[in-house]
Amino acid sequence: MYEKYMVLKEDIQSVVVNGVGTGFTVKLRIPYYRGVCLSLVEDIQVKFNGRLFPKESLTFSVEGGTFSFAEMATMTQHRWEFGEKATVFVPLAGGIPLGMHRVEVTVAIRVSYMGGARPFTVAIDGVSPMGG
């Protein structure tokens, strides 16, 4: 289920501000069968054609607002709900270039009864600046 629905290709989009590509966004559903407090999101990483964007470089938006990962570590009231599409902004200068690309997303949720976080990765091929 998560392999198929955590990231959809059409949910990867360039972000253009005043005619300049500033990066791209990826919409993510949680790879876990319930929603969690943001403090339980242990890690998110995005790779664009193999180039790593660690969590410190990303921002994360859910219904409650847009946050950095440093902020999320202490957020126990705001939640990422089951099935909710969170938006992750990836600061790839210029946005998504022409051509077909590979985007890999890793999400690790801390699951108390499992004793910690297990990273879950999905790779999407054929990502283009036209979306999808």
- Determine, following the binding rule CB under 8 A, whether residue 25 of this chain makes contact with other proteins: no
The binding track of 57-96 with respect to other proteins, each residue x by CB under 8 A or -, is ----------------xx-x--x-xxx-------------
Q: Distances in Å between the alpha carbon of 73 and those of 28, 77, 125, 127? A: 18, 11, 31, 31
- Determine, following the binding rule CB under 8 A, whether residue 36 of this chain makes contact with other proteins: yes
| Residue 40 Rama label (left phi>0; alpha psi -120 to 50; beta) | alpha
Alpha helix positions (H), 43-87 = 69-72
Residue 35 tokens, joined? 């929603």
How many DSSP H helices and E strands does the chain contain? 2, 12
CB of 101 to other proteins, least distance (A): 24
For other proteins, give the closer residue by CB, 50 or 113. 113
Q: Distances in Å between the alpha carbon of 7 and those of 42, 45, 127? A: 18, 13, 12
Among 11, 21, 27, 37, binds other proteins (CB under 8 A): 37
Applying CB under 8 A, the span of 14-22, 26-34, 46-54, 99-107 interacting with other proteins comes to 26-34
What is the rounded distance in angstroms from the CA atom of residue 66 to the CA atom of residue 25? 13
For other proteins, give the closer residue by CB, 32 or 48. 32
Residues 3-22 that bind other proteins (CB under 8 A): 3, 5
Chain residues in the site for other proteins (CB under 8 A): 1, 3, 5, 29, 33-37, 39-40, 42, 73-74, 76, 79, 81-83, 110-113, 116
